[in-house]
Amino acid sequence: MIIDDSSDIPKDLITLLQCSRRVVVFTGAGVSAESGIPTFRDPLTGLWKNFSAEMLATPAAFRRDPAEVWGWYEWRRKLVMRAQPNTAHLAIAQLARLIPEVSVITQNVDDLHERAGSEAVVHLHGSFFSPRCFACSRPHPVLSPDPDGDGDGDGDVAGAGKRIEPPRCSRCNGRIRPGVVWFGERLDRALFSQAKKAARECDVLFSIGASVEVQPAAIIPIEAERRGAQIVQINPSATALDIRSRFNLRMPAGPALEKLLRAAWPDSLRNLS
Ligand code: OAD
């Protein structure tokens, strides 16, 4: 069923939410779009429409030009540090206070879910905030906690092309790499198993702001649906998950979640600011 801006939230969706016990919230770049963080595949503004994934998001790219890759990730990290969680992040954190068990599984490498109050977020694609050594994998402290501080690239688009030499590992002098999963790399096995387990055991799965085009993460909502969960998708655009979703909210994440909370738990809206 398609629900848009002008539709009321159907009664059976309200009942489904109010009766749900175990919920998975699976998110993609679209959940952070209203915080000003670019998605990957949206026409015009998507990162992969403007930059080459092959030149910036693979181990081979880092070997070829570590300063180019580190500088690009530092630019993105600065954008995130200057951004604030939006209504969607806050509403997702709020769901954990309304439903007995909520697992947030994200493909995003930002920390906006955590800053909105979500706990134990599973980051399938890693995080901007867990750099490690490219050679020996030793974790490295996060640098430049001040987003306005000097060095490490500017937060605006002009800084996107700025080359920055990555720091060196204190143990082996290897180059420090961003703590994200690049194309051609495996997901963390334990995290992926945890995500699949949550998907298999949930009764409702929200897929929010995800194009559901990138494997193996895209298997998460499919696993849930195969095991009998109801899928609620929030995305202004159609995706391959439409046919598996009982409810498709064709709206941006913030307004959609606000509308859902208002319908199912009217008192919960007070905390959405
Ligand atoms: P995409 O850029 O592929 O998809 C973002 C989705 O968000 C699209 O389906 C948009 O229609 C939707 N969207 C845009 N604005 C929205 C809004 N305000 N509210 C709700 N939805 C909105 O991003 P992901 O699906 O996250 O991986 O991409 C998956 C992975 O591909 C990323 O984690 C990244 C990328 O390559 C790695 O870097 C390994």
What would the pLDDT profile of 118-155 be if each residue is shown by its tens digit? 999 999 999 999 999 999 999 999 876 544 544 444 45
* Phi, psi torsion values for 217, nearest 5 degrees: -60, -35
Q: How would residue 52 be classed by pLDDT, with cut points 50, 70 and 90?
A: confident
pLDDT of 255 higher than 90? yes
Question: Of 180, 179, 237, which Cα lies nearest the Cα of 213?
Answer: 237
Across 89-109, average pLDDT = 97
Atom 4 of ligand 1: nearest residue by CA position: 211
150 CA from centroid of ligand 1 (Å): 30
Across 230-239, average pLDDT = 98
Kindly state the tokens that stand for 105.
């599984």
Q: What is the pLDDT of residue 157?
A: 64
Q: What is the pLDDT of residue 60?
A: 97
- Cα 27 to Cα 197: distance, rounded to the nearest angstrom: 17
pLDDT above 90 coverage of the chain, percent: 83
- What does the longest C-alpha to C-alpha distance in the chain come to? 60
Atom 29 of ligand 1: nearest residue by CA position: 214
- Contact by Cβ (8 Å): 39, 45: yes
Q: Is the CB of 25 under 6 A from ligand 1?
A: no
The DSSP result for 154-193, as a single string, is -SSGGGGG---PPPB-TTT-PBEE-SBPPTTPPPPHHHHH
Across 201-226, average pLDDT = 97
Q: Indicate if 125 belongs to the active site.
A: yes
Kindly state the tokens that stand for 36.
């000003």
Across 239-268, average pLDDT = 96
Enumerate residues 6+ apart whose C-beta is below 8 A from 87. 34, 253, 254, 255, 257, 258, 272
Q: What is the pLDDT of residue 273?
A: 64
Sole residue written with tokens 């580190």: 70
Pocket test residue of 5, 26, 42, 212 for ligand 1, highest count of atoms within 8 A of CB: 42
Q: Which residue has the higher pLDDT, 234 or 145?
A: 234
Q: Is the CB of 214 under 6 A from ligand 1?
A: yes
Atom 9 of ligand 1: nearest residue by CA position: 211
Determine if residue 112 is left, alpha or beta; phi over 0 gives left, psi from -120 to 50 gives alpha, anything else beta.
alpha
Pocket test residue of 27, 89, 104, 214 for ligand 1, highest count of atoms within 8 A of CB: 214
Which residues face 104 on adjacent strands? 25
Q: Tell me what the pLDDT averaged over the chain comes to.
A: 93
Q: Is the CB of 30 under 6 A from ligand 1?
A: yes
Cα-based distances in Å from 140 to 75, 169, 172, 241: 18, 7, 12, 38
- Contact by Cβ (8 Å): 151, 185: no
Among the atoms of ligand 1, which is closest to the Cα of residue 212? 25
Q: Is the CB of 29 under 6 A from ligand 1?
A: yes
Q: What is the pLDDT of residue 270?
A: 72
Q: Is the CB of 252 under 6 A from ligand 1?
A: yes
Alpha helix (H) residue ranges in the chain: 11-19, 30-33, 47-50, 53-56, 59-64, 66-82, 87-98, 112-116, 189-201, 219-226, 253-264
Across 170-185, average pLDDT = 97
Q: What is the pLDDT of residue 83?
A: 97
Task: Estimate to the nearest angstrom the gap between the alpha carbon of 39 and the chain centroid.
Answer: 10
Cα-trace Rg, the chain: 19
pLDDT of 227 higher than 70? yes
For the whole model, what pTM was predicted? Answer: 0.95
Q: How would residue 268 be classed by pLDDT, with cut points 50, 70 and 90?
A: confident
Kindly state the tokens that stand for 265.
């738990």
Across 100-120, average pLDDT = 98
Q: Is the CB of 26 under 6 A from ligand 1?
A: no
Q: How many C-alpha atoms does 146 have within 13 Å on its Cβ side? A: 4
